[in-house]
Structure 1
Amino acid sequence: MAVWWVALFGAGMALVVATKIAFIGWGIGIPSIDFAGISGHAMRAAAVLPVIAYLALQGGRRSVKIIGVSAGVGLGILIAVSRVLVDAHSLSEAVSGFLLGTLIGVIFISLARPLHKPSVNGWLVMVTLVSLFWVSSGEPAPTQQMLTEMALALSGHDRPFTRADWIATGQLLPKPVTLIR
């Protein structure tokens, strides 16, 4: 199961990174739907949360597993929506991230279902997750900076491509200014 998870999740993250580097380095995206790269937050949430629920609830009834996995999907939706609400991503980027993550989770659960079920202590999983969030420094990793540096190194350009470039060429309309947020 671990090999399948690493392969699926790794492929999903590689796709996220590839789309972001393509946009930052070369301006490859879809301006008509304001797509500049798959949302990594939405992809990770939609992939990880249902799978955690599935694994943590291995000893439970089928109905409990379905509720847990559905709750994980629901949280994934909330995280995807939050990315749009805080203007971190466009709707197309958040939706593509959510759909990719959901696909990864569904494939993993489908592959894991017929396999021998490991003994998973649900409480240990929850304590581990809480401790991971608790010991976090609160400082976000500089992933956007690393992606930008990689994109510039690969493309040979001296500055990153941005949505402002699409706006300047008329490919994307600027977002309207709102007084209420």
Structure 2
Amino acid sequence: MSHWHLVSLFGESAYLLPCAVFLALWLYWRGAPGSARHWALAFATAALLVLASKLAFMGWGIGSAALNFTGFSGHAMMAASVLPVLLYLAVPAARRRLGWLAAAAGVALALLVGVSRLALHAHSVSEVAGGLGVGLCVSLPFILRRTTPHGPLAMVLASVVLATALVMPMTGTVGASHGLIQQLAMLLSGRDRPFQRGEWAMHGRAPAYATMHAAVRSGPG
């Protein structure tokens, strides 16, 4: 496994989706239903937006040839939404400045995940930038809430579990979401195969630079 593949795992939905669910349940358990609802609604909206963008392209070829856009990067969105929040809540509320630094570290790690998707030729710049933007629209407003309880022990334990899972990848789970989205896109659109990068419903043929990238796989997430 290359170092970019390892970095990319920090945005893998198989690991971060359980973390997102854990955050919502933990907030309810800590007596912060408002924060839990805020987190659940924001994260679910972002996830549905990413899913809709992928289905639109895979099923109907709806994207942007000019931007080489076939859907928001799920890895980038997942990393940018979950990691800053997880690290921020791992710092005691009294250490506010340290909490901001932890959140910044989470953002930096999410950016690195985005770079890894480019290095692995899984996404275009527009797809990674869009995914990061959607994810940060989830994490940053949530972090700015002053009523959100912090849970250093719970967040550290969650981070340890995440780190352990990353070094022992679940072979049958990693990347499975991409295949499921393809199957759903074909089911909804009635096509026998999904659209591929370089194919656009609104264009007879891809522009020259998009054709050059046609060999670049959409890749999972």
Q: Distance in 2 between matches of 1:159 and 1:129?
A: 34
Q: Which residue of 2 aligns with 1:82?
A: 116
Partner residue of 2:196 out of 142, 150, 162: 162
Partner residue of 1:99 out of 130, 133, 143: 133
Say whether residues 1:131 and 2:164 are aligned partners.
yes
Q: Distance in 1 between matches of 2:99 and 2:150?
A: 15
- Show CA shifts across 1:28-62 (max 9, x none): 00110000000000000011111011110134522
Give percent identity, aligned residues only.
36
Secondary structure, counterpart of 1:160 in structure 2: coil
Q: Distance in 2 between matches of 1:80 and 1:119?
A: 28
Shift in Å, 1:3: 2.5
Q: Which residue of 2 aligns with 1:49?
A: 83
Secondary structure, counterpart of 1:158 in structure 2: coil
Distance change (3 Å), C-alpha of 1:126 and 1:148: closer
Shift in Å, 1:130: 2.6
Q: Distance in 2 between matches of 1:118 and 1:72?
A: 16
Say whether residues 1:114 and 2:151 are aligned partners.
no
TM-score by length of 2: 0.71
RMSD (Å), alpha carbons = 2.3
Structure 2: which 5+ runs fail to align? 1-34, 214-221
Distance change (3 Å), C-alpha of 1:54 and 1:118: closer
Q: Which residue of 2 aligns with 1:16?
A: 50
Of stretches 132-141 and 73-82 in structure 1, the one that deviates more from structure 2 is 132-141
TM-score by length of 1: 0.86
Partner residue of 1:32 out of 48, 56, 66: 66
Shift in Å, 1:132: 3.4
Structure 1: which 5+ runs fail to align? 177-181
Q: Which residue of 2 aligns with 1:175?
A: 212
Number of aligned residue pairs: 175
Shift in Å, 1:118: 4.6
